[in-house]
């Protein structure tokens, strides 16, 4: 979502210009790319400076007076500056709600009605992928009761077959840690149709391909969490929304929270509007296509109670989980057995991201819909937590992300500052230099689409790793950032940001790095040589320019011949020329169709299958046109028609061949058009 936390790999990737439209497509892709936002190191606060971290180990007192003063100094100015309409915040400590605060407006009054300030007790915000924590808790409840086994093949619990390309079974442990191996899916993610959501139908209709062996590659997946929710539904015999209402939301004392879409009548007037910016009109209520990963609506006060329950403190009328199961949920769920050395970096628990900061254990999850942006963090060892949600995107592409980070990172630095110096490196310089050299290269996110035409969006948002200072790494852009970052090796295959707190881990063979884990559910993977931007972008650009110039030359050539009184071209080779022209036109129309279609899809608009198939037919016409273009070139050479015409025929052949190679390499002609 900006989209169910189609998450942060989305957020900050420098865009390779395939053209302005493709650049736009990529920004949207990363937006549609993610629930579950993890933090990166400090973005300066928007609108007001965050309080500086206190001296090592000595934070400010976490009291309502201090927290309210800090939030009041940060958020009102930030909302005004960024064009975000409203925000809601909750902070808990030692089993109690320290504060809940509302800022800005739940309704800006843009429709002529009076503006309505955000009330943290009353106004519901959409949680996006923070919802996944509720789904994971539901799974753990059934594990606790013995009805589910985390390590059993999930097909044991399903009434349909999963798409599988590997022998290793997919387990609930894989689903909750985003390591089931599924590629990304976008269709049906978010809409505004208020019809009843059929979870099973959404899961069995055009499921994503499995592109990684289960348990080996962190790759964020809304589909995986939706599967986990459906298993809850199947095993409990209760509709998912009803199960979590009774067993989680009601039990934790969250009476104003729901997964129902549209909202129950009693809650509809309490829903905050969503906005692009505070100056724009309110957006319609968003319908999440598969509720478990992102359909929760809740006020800040209810989310405070959820945090208290996750911290094991008394709240509501019954604990969500017993202590052993809660501790199971909150510790890393996979180890080196399947992850290899990636296990030495940030790892998923059974639902939470590891978001440690200042030496404190922090478990969190972010979430994004098209208009709402949330983040929740708990400090299990410190018995504290913070939740923040925004109801607008803001004027800048990163405004909502940076503002959330200002809040959660500022909270950590103010109340839970560093306890001491970071440990020194344990790797000798020669080994580090060798590891750095192996890591150098171009990478793409593991959260990807590999089986259809959307493979092409992988051309943007790539990451370059190079060696600097002899044995450090320069990563551009830095993980979950829009600016470069430097890393130094602090343990074998574990690297820490220079001047920051983020860590990454690598898995490597003797001659290459296979993966770089940069977040609990995300990794960088090496780009195949044939798909590097250095090769693919020039091929695409040159081919397109040549074909465009060819089309422009047709009327110009006809006018010149007419004005000079030249005879029309002879009929020899006419068939090959006509077929070549059809191929040129087909290729250009197909490329235009792909750009428009992909842009619409990344804006979460569905494209009819017939349209995509038509574009594929045009693309195929262009690819097959290589044959008549070859015949035309051979014929022109044989008949000695002059070097200009021969050169022109040669350029057309090369351009069609280049465009055809791109179409095949990036799956534009793949049988599957499911996205």
Q: Are residues 434 and 414 in the same domain?
A: no
In-domain check, residue 82: yes
β strands within 469-529, DSSP E: 472-476, 485-491, 494-497, 503-508, 513-519, 522-526
What pTM value is reported for the model? Answer: 0.87
Q: Are residues 516 and 586 in the same domain?
A: no
Beta-carbon neighbour count of residue 566 at 10 Å?
10
- pLDDT, one tens digit per residue, over 551-603 is 888 776 566 556 666 555 566 568 888 898 999 999 999 999 999 999 888 88
Q: Which of 99-113, 316-330, 599-613 has the highest mean pLDDT?
A: 316-330
Select the more confidently predicted residue: 640 or 167: 167
**Domain-ending residue, one of 356, 386, 418:** 418
Q: Are residues 320 and 215 in the same domain?
A: yes
**Domain-ending residue, one of 396, 418, 440:** 418
Q: Which two tokens stand for residue 202?
A: 């959404």
In-domain check, residue 26: no
Q: Are residues 606 and 494 in the same domain?
A: no
In the block, which residue shows the tokens 């534009």? Answer: 668
In-domain check, residue 31: no
According to the model, what pLDDT value does residue 218 have?
96
- pLDDT, one tens digit per residue, over 427-475 is 899 999 999 999 999 999 999 888 888 888 888 888 999 999 889 999 9
Question: pLDDT band at 540, cuts 50/70/90?
Answer: very high
- pLDDT, one tens digit per residue, over 51-71 is 444 444 578 999 999 999 999
Q: Are residues 98 and 166 in the same domain?
A: yes
Question: pLDDT band at 37, cuts 50/70/90?
Answer: very low
In-domain check, residue 361: yes
- pLDDT, one tens digit per residue, over 230-245 is 999 999 999 999 999 9
Q: Are residues 268 and 372 in the same domain?
A: yes
> What is residue 347's DSSP assignment?
-
In-domain check, residue 20: no
Q: Are residues 561 and 584 in the same domain?
A: yes
Question: pLDDT band at 528, cuts 50/70/90?
Answer: confident
Q: Are residues 519 and 597 in the same domain?
A: no
Select the more confidently predicted residue: 512 or 12: 512
| Beta carbons within 8 Å of 636's beta carbon, 6+ residues apart | 573, 645, 646, 649
To the nearest whole number, what is the mean pLDDT of the chain? 87
Count the alpha carbons within 13 Å of 164 in the hemisphere toward its beta carbon. 14
From residue 54, give the alpha-carbon distance in Å to each of 57, 281, 356, 414, 439: 7, 42, 17, 6, 36
According to the model, what pLDDT value does residue 385 have?
98
- pLDDT, one tens digit per residue, over 172-227 is 999 999 999 999 888 878 887 666 788 999 999 889 999 999 999 999 999 999 99
Closest CA to 407 of 9, 4, 51, 65: 51
Mean pLDDT within 409-414: 97
Mean pLDDT within 414-429: 84
Q: Are residues 448 and 470 in the same domain?
A: yes
Closest CA to 136 of 375, 346, 349: 349
In the block, which residue shows the tokens 């990172």? Answer: 409
Rg from Cα positions in the chain = 27
| In the predicted structure, residue 21 carries a pLDDT above the cut 50 | no
Q: Are residues 331 and 351 in the same domain?
A: yes
CATH number of the CATH domain containing 305? 3.40.710.10
Q: What are phi and psi of 69, to 5 degrees?
A: -65, -40
Query: Residue 463: helix, strand or coil by DSSP?
Result: strand
Q: Are residues 557 and 517 in the same domain?
A: no
According to the model, what pLDDT value does residue 568 have?
56
According to the model, what pLDDT value does residue 33 have?
34
Q: Give the residue numbers spanning the domain of 68.
A: 37-418
- Counting the structural domains of the chain, the total is 3
Q: Are residues 96 and 202 in the same domain?
A: yes
Q: How far apart are the C-alpha atoms of 197 and 205, rounded to whole Å?
A: 13
According to the model, what pLDDT value does residue 38 have?
40
In the chain, what percentage of residues exceed pLDDT 70?
88
In-domain check, residue 25: no
């Amino acid at each position: 979502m900006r989209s169910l936390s189609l998450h942060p790999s989305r957020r900050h990737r420098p865009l390779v210009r395939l053209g302005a439209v493709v650049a736009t497509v990529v920004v949207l892709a990363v937006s549609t790319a993610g629930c579950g936002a993890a933090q990166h190191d400090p973005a300066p606060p928007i609108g007001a400076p965050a309080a500086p971290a206190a001296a090592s180990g000595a934070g400010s007192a976490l009291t309502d007076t201090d927290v309210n003063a800090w939030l009041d100094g940060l958020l009102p100015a930030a909302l005004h500056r960024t064009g975000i309409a409203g925000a809601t915040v909750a902070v808990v400590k030692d089993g109690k709600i320290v504060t809940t605060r509302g800022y800005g407006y739940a309704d800006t009054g843009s429709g002529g009605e009076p503006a309505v300030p955000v009330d943290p007790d009353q106004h519901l915000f959409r949680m996006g992928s923070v919802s996944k924590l509720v789904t994971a808790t539901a799974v753990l409840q059934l594990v606790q009761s013995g009805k589910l086994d985390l390590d059993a093949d999930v097909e044991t619990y399903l009434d349909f077959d999963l798409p599988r390309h590997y022998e290793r079974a997919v387990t609930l442990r894989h689903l909750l840690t985003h390591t089931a191996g599924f590629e990304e899916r976008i269709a049906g993610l978010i809409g505004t149709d208020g019809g009843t959501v059929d979870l099973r139908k959404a899961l069995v209709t055009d499921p994503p391909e499995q592109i990684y062996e289960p348990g080996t590659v962190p790759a964020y997946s809304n589909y995986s969490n939706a599967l986990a929710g459906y298993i809850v539904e199947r095993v409990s015999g209760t509709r998912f929304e009803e199960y979590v209402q009774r067993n989680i939301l009601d039990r934790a004392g969250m009476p104003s929270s729901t997964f129902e879409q549209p909202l129950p009548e009693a809650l509809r007037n309490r829903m905050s509007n969503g906005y692009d910016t505070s100056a724009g009109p309110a957006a319609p209520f968003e319908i999440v296509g598969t509720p478990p990963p992102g359909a929760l609506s809740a006020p800040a006060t209810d989310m405070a109670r959820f945090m208290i329950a996750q911290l094991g403190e008394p709240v509501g009328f019954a604990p969500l989980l017993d202590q052993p199961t809660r501790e199971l949920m909150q510790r890393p769920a996979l180890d080196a057995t399947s992850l290899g050395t990636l296990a030495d970096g940030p790892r998923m628990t059974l639902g939470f991201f590891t978001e440690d900061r200042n030496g404190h254990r922090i478990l969190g999850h972010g979430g994004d819909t098209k208009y709402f942006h949330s983040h929740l963090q708990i400090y299990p060892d410190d018995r504290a937590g913070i939740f923040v949600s925004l109801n607008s995107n803001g004027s800048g592409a990163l405004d909502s992300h940076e503002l959330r980070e200002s809040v959660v990172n500022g909270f950590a630095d103010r109340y839970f500052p560093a306890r001491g110096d970071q440990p020194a490196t344990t790797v000798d310089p020669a080994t580090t230099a060798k590891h750095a050299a192996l890591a150098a290269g171009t990478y793409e996110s593991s959260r990807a689409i590999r089986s259809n035409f959307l493979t092409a969006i992988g051309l943007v948002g790539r990451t370059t790793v190079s060696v600097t200072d002899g044995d450090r790494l320069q990563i551009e852009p830095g993980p979950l950032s829009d600016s470069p970052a430097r890393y130094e090796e602090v343990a074998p295959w574990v690297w820490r940001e220079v001047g920051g707190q983020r860590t990454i881990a690598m898995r490597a063979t003797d001659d290459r790095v296979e993966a770089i884990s940069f977040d609990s559910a995300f990794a960088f993977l090496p780009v195949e040589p044939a798909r590097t931007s250095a090769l693919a972008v020039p091929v695409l650009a040159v081919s397109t320019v040549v074909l465009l110039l060819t089309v422009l030359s047709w009327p110009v050539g006809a006018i010149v011949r007419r004005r000079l009184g030249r005879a029309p071209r002879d009929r020899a080779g006419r068939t090959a020329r006509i077929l070549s022209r059809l191929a040129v036109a087909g290729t250009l129309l197909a490329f235009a169709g792909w750009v428009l279609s992909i842009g619409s899809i990344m804006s979460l608009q569905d494209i009819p299958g017939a349209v995509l198939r038509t574009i594929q037919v045009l693309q195929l016409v262009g690819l097959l046109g290589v044959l008549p273009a070859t015949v035309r070139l051979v014929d022109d050479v044989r008949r000695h028609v002059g070097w200009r015409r021969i050169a022109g025929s040669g350029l057309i052949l090369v351009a069609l061949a280049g465009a055809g190679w791109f179409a095949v390499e990036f799956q534009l002609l793949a049988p599957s058009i499911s996205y």
